[in-house]
Structure 1
């Protein structure tokens, strides 16, 4: 399902760049965006092949948007990634791993320029304590930056966090930083157990309460769970419709018959709920 106007994608599916057949399946999976990975999913001796295979794939426009997670800027492969990818017609965005400063974003934006069209859309992944601490300055570093998100596996290791709840402060920090920088709500990081769909659903529900919207996946079976978790419920849709009907009858602050208060912020939330609901139709 394609993303609606004004909203980030709900489902993003990773596929390793050195497995063209897996990338092809990902493009047919129904994910809103396919994330071709040149970084963690690719062994060092396969980096050049992964880049070449990805460049060949993106020499034409794919059926859904494709973002590429390049190698970290301080790695031996980043220069070749940034030289080969930005001009490709099928590239919709670059995912930048292990971003720790605004200068990382600015550096890539300058190198990823497409002439008068500006830079390729960029997305920063914050995977260290330093990256999270600088979340807002990174989020507001350059107009080409279209989103930020956490890389929770690396962040967990950096912080020494053993319980999942130990990442909630960092999650909230990134949600707030994105909003403060006028960026879309972040998508959640991957859920690593591809067979634990109940755990994935519960984790998505928790992410939704924190302000995330959508999630990255590492297996197609996770996509419907993420889609359902972030789609408005029947009760939420009914509430939104009731709010908008009441607001149309009586502009300004008012109370619904059951005592619930409605003001401009509540009306805006109702519009958002119905817009998300229309994505599934």
Structure 2
């Protein structure tokens, strides 16, 4: 996996042919979904098909979104999958408390020993309110993100901007807990690529890094939106050259003020551009 995954492509676990296409679609991470994308009468088949696939290592990191432990399928998902050699991480739905993460962590021992990397999805008002506590719940938790469709339904929000406070709350919680920036939730209209790009740029401005996708055609749009532009790279290089030549705060010829925080941001920009 690259140090900064930008694209996370979901594929339904009960459709092995779709999963096979996702594995070669160019995503940084493939997420096999056993939860919302799978009908109740297909849960068992999806679990078995996913376990069969993950008996061998895959060409890209593969995560599985399991069913919630509070329901009838979650424990069976963990029992069937956690020791699979091809599994790189688990995405946990409907997380509303640190205890939800801890319960999974106790069961999620990987094939290589140790706990699998876990990623918590916050999909309710209570989950958002407890975002920082969830983010610090267990050392195996590597990230938090929002499940926006469920959160929108829970809050009764109709306009997209109505979720901006929740988005910022999760970005701050992740940073305060020392986690990577959250990934954006999926853009549900797979044909609206202009809308996807605009939404990604908005997410980037809020502090997100990368995005989940539900169709391969969304991947290049997400990557382009989240990678620094040539202008941003040039500006970062200018900042670092100036900082190397003169210690302390200074102003560049174009009026840009440079201090330690600006230098840190420039390093981050170039690291993302290099994908390291």
TM-score interval, normalised by the smaller of the two chains: over 0.9
Are positions 1:154 and 2:154 aligned together? no
Partner of 2:81: 85
SS in 1 for 2:236: helix
Map 1:61-210 → 2, pairs under 5 A? 61-114=57-110, 117-210=113-206
Give unpaired runs (5+ residues) of structure 2: none
Give distance in 2, aligned partners of 1:22 and 1:58. Answer: 15
DSSP 3-state at the match of 1:148:
strand
Deviations along 1:96-126, one digit per CA (max 9) or x if unpaired, are 0000000000110011124883210000000
TM-score (norm 1): 0.96
Displacement after TM superposition at 1:255 (Å): 1.6
Partner Cα distance (1:115, 1:223) in 2: 30
C-alpha distance in structure 2 between counterparts of 1:169 and 1:73, whole Å: 28
- Between stretches 246-255 and 173-182, larger displacement belongs to 246-255
The superposition leaves residues 167-222 of structure 1 with CA deviations (integer Å, 9 ceiling, x where unpaired) of: 00000000000000000000000000000000000000100110000000000000
Write the distance in 2 (CA, Å) between the matches of 1:82 and 1:57: 15
What SS does structure 1 have at the residue aligned with 2:106? Answer: helix
Higher deviation after alignment, 116-125 or 233-242: 116-125
Gaps of 5+ in 1: none
Q: Which residue of 2 aligns with 1:11?
A: 7
Aligned counterpart in structure 2 of residue 237 of structure 1, from 233, 238, 243:
233
Separation of aligned partners in 2, 1:190 and 1:59 = 28
Cα RMSD of the aligned pairs, angstroms, is 1.2
TM-score (norm 2): 0.98
Q: What does residue 47 of structure 2 align with?
A: 51
